[in-house]
Amino acid sequence: MKFFIDTANLDQIKEAQDMGILDGVTTNPSLMAKEGITGTDNIMKHYVDICNIVDGDVSAEVISTDFDGMVREGEALAELHDQIVIKLPMIKDGVKACKYFSDRDIKTNVTLVFSPGQALLAAKAGATYVSPFIGRLDDVSTDGLNLIAEIRHIYDNYAFETQILAASVRHTMHVIDCAKLGADVMTGPLKSIVGLLNHPLTDIGLEKFLADYKKGN
């Protein structure tokens, strides 16, 4: 299972990268705005800064909602760095743009996916990644993890190669449940990754080992 971090915060990206377990980064316009990164030029530069920190795929989201605009923006983003993945919204023109980019071997991530039918369309269009938003489904009393299971089932039926990127992950149990269900990738905040380290028995055990070592020295 690949671990992506869902942030535009460079310090957090560096922290996850330094642990040696990071496989990529996802961003979106809201995450950019949260870091105070505004304006096309600054946003483009920020994508390059992110690519220079991590080794893996970095999703960069288009803001156009029409096919021509998505293609224009996506081509400019793809030119920035070979780690860039074009993130496209799950709308009709987004599906069409996904097919356009996949036909040209440019990686894509179809985002804002909330149903198995949408995931099926993304796979048919040759998406590299499909991003079902599990946390946002949970927010409206719908089982987000069930969507991961449904997409896994459908993709396995037809051996679709599109990778299921569980997005809108909010906490460590989402990560573990997504791993059990066979999601190919998860993207979440830093706390959902470093939180996996925590267990009181690890802390108690380490404290005792170190104390016993000191007794003998």
Residues touching ligand E4P, count (CB under 6 A): 11
C-beta of residue 56 within 8 angstroms of C-beta of residue 50? no
User: Given candidates 12, 111, 128, 163, which one binds ligand E4P under the rule CB under 6 A?
Assistant: 111
- When binding is defined by CB under 6 A, the residue of 12, 128, 187, 192 that contacts ligand E4P is 187
Question: Residue 28 interacts with ligand E4P (CB under 6 A)?
Answer: yes
Separation of alpha carbons 162 and 159, rounded Å: 9
Q: Which is nearer to ligand E4P, 38 or 212 (CB)?
A: 38
Query: Which is catalytic among the residues 2, 34, 45, 87?
Result: 87
Which phi and psi (to 5°) does residue 160 adopt?
-65, 140
For residue 87, indicate whether it is catalytic.
Answer: yes
CB of 139 or CB of 207, closer to ligand E4P = 139
User: Which one, 31 or 44, has the nearer CB to ligand E4P?
Assistant: 31
Q: Which two tokens stand for residue 98?
A: 């996904």
In angstroms, the CA 213 to CA 146 distance is: 48
> Which one, 126 or 189, has the nearer CB to ligand E4P?
189
Per-residue binding string, ligand E4P, 121-150, x by CB under 6 A, is: ----------x-x-xx--------------
CB of 134 to ligand E4P, least distance (A): 9
Give Rg (Cα) of the chain: 19
Does residue 37 touch ligand E4P according to CB under 6 A? no
DSSP codes of every residue in 138-198: HHTTS-HHHHHHHHHHHHHHHT---EEEEBS--SHHHHHHHHHHT-SEEEE-HHHHHGGG-
User: Running DSSP on this structure, what letter comes out for residue 133?
Assistant: B
* 108 near ligand E4P, rule: CB under 6 A: no
**Which pair of tokens denotes residue 194?**
């470093």
The DSSP symbol for 39 reads S
Give contact residues for ligand E4P (rule: CB under 6 A): 6, 26, 28, 111, 131, 133, 135-136, 167-168, 187
Q: Give the residue numbers marked as catalytic.
A: 87
